[in-house]
Amino acid sequence: MTAWLKKSILKKKEPDNQWIKCPDCAEILYKNLLIDNINVCTRCGHHFRLSPDGWLGYLVNRGTFKEINENIQSVDPLDFSDAKERYVDKLNRSMKKTGMKSAIITGVGKIGKQKACLGIMNFAFLGGSMGSVLGEKVARLFEHAIELSLPVILISASGGARMHEGIYSLLQMAKTSAAIRKHSEAGQLYISIMTDPTTGGVSASFSALGDIMIGEPGALIGFAGPRVIEQTIKQKLPPKFQTAEFLYDHGMLDMIVNRKELKSILIELLTFFG
Ligand SMILES: [Zn+2]
């Protein structure tokens, strides 16, 4: 055995984290192959979460994406702290982990031959929660799109409003909705893509306001958790409640699109409405 081979085997003492188990079909998947397949299980088609970098690499023509408002950063208006950690420390940890300053990246890029304003949320940043910065970036994205007469594509992944900023987070629902209204009045298209999960105040504001509403297969989409609803209405909820499929069946989504087909569908939509 050559020295380098021995060395590389020895290096792998810790459990190999190059593999991931699919929660739907239990297949053990090699992470690099999964990334090549835009984080869709090669066996059953389960859609794993995709990072903003992954989305940009997949959807946007290489070298065309220009980020806007990248330096806006959250503050701690309520000096909030839970039992374990201060909000500012949590924020710093998330910024370090994701390399982002907030839970959304916004900018302008080209998809096929069409230019569009894009917002992509990152669930890895404090559960994709909506604080004042996220709301501000979404509102500014729509304002930017009005100035440039461009459509907006927004990919949501969120646990809802960020409790650490209290009422400031809830205010973002109204602010983003108002900006979307103006964009709509300017005659521009907004395509909302809901990925797993899209919940809480995000599902109840900007992500629910698309002219075209697209869900990813199997995505959890809803406002409050099923247990809270069951306790409130004292009724058992139907099976598959709050999945993209359930919402589609009940007219809340226009289509459910497999990630692999999403790019060509977006190009088609942008071309048709452009
Ligand atoms: Zn699978």
Nearest to 266 by CA among 58, 55, 59: 59
CA 26 – ligand 1 centroid, Å: 6
The residue count of the chain comes to 274
pLDDT, tens digit, 9 for 90 and up, residues 30-84: 999 999 999 999 999 999 999 999 999 999 999 999 999 999 999 999 999 998 9
Domain ranges for the chain: 14-48, 49-273
CA 218 – ligand 1 centroid, Å: 12
Class of the CATH-defined domain 49-273: alpha beta
Return the SS3 of 108: strand
Query: Does the structure show a pLDDT above 50 at 14?
Result: no
pLDDT, tens digit, 9 for 90 and up, residues 112-146: 999 999 999 999 999 999 999 999 999 999 999 99
Residue 92: phi, psi to the nearest 5? -60, -40
CA 213 – ligand 1 centroid, Å: 25
Query: Does the structure show a pLDDT above 80 at 4?
Result: no
Which helix (H) or strand (E) segment holds residue 153: the answer is: strand 152-158
CA 29 – ligand 1 centroid, Å: 8
Residues in contact with 121: Cβ distance below 8 Å, sequence separation at least 6, in sequence order: 52, 103, 104, 128, 134, 154, 155, 156, 157, 158, 202
Nearest to 154 by CA among 138, 169, 143: 138
CA 258 – ligand 1 centroid, Å: 14
CA 17 – ligand 1 centroid, Å: 17
Nearest to 53 by CA among 43, 39, 41: 39
Q: Strand 114-121 relative to strand 28-30: parallel, antiparallel, unpaired?
A: unpaired
- Region of 254 (left: φ > 0; alpha: ψ -120 to 50; beta: rest) is alpha
CA 44 – ligand 1 centroid, Å: 4
CA 216 – ligand 1 centroid, Å: 15
Average pLDDT of the chain, as a whole number = 94
Given this model, what pLDDT does residue 274 score? 85
pTM given for the model? 0.92
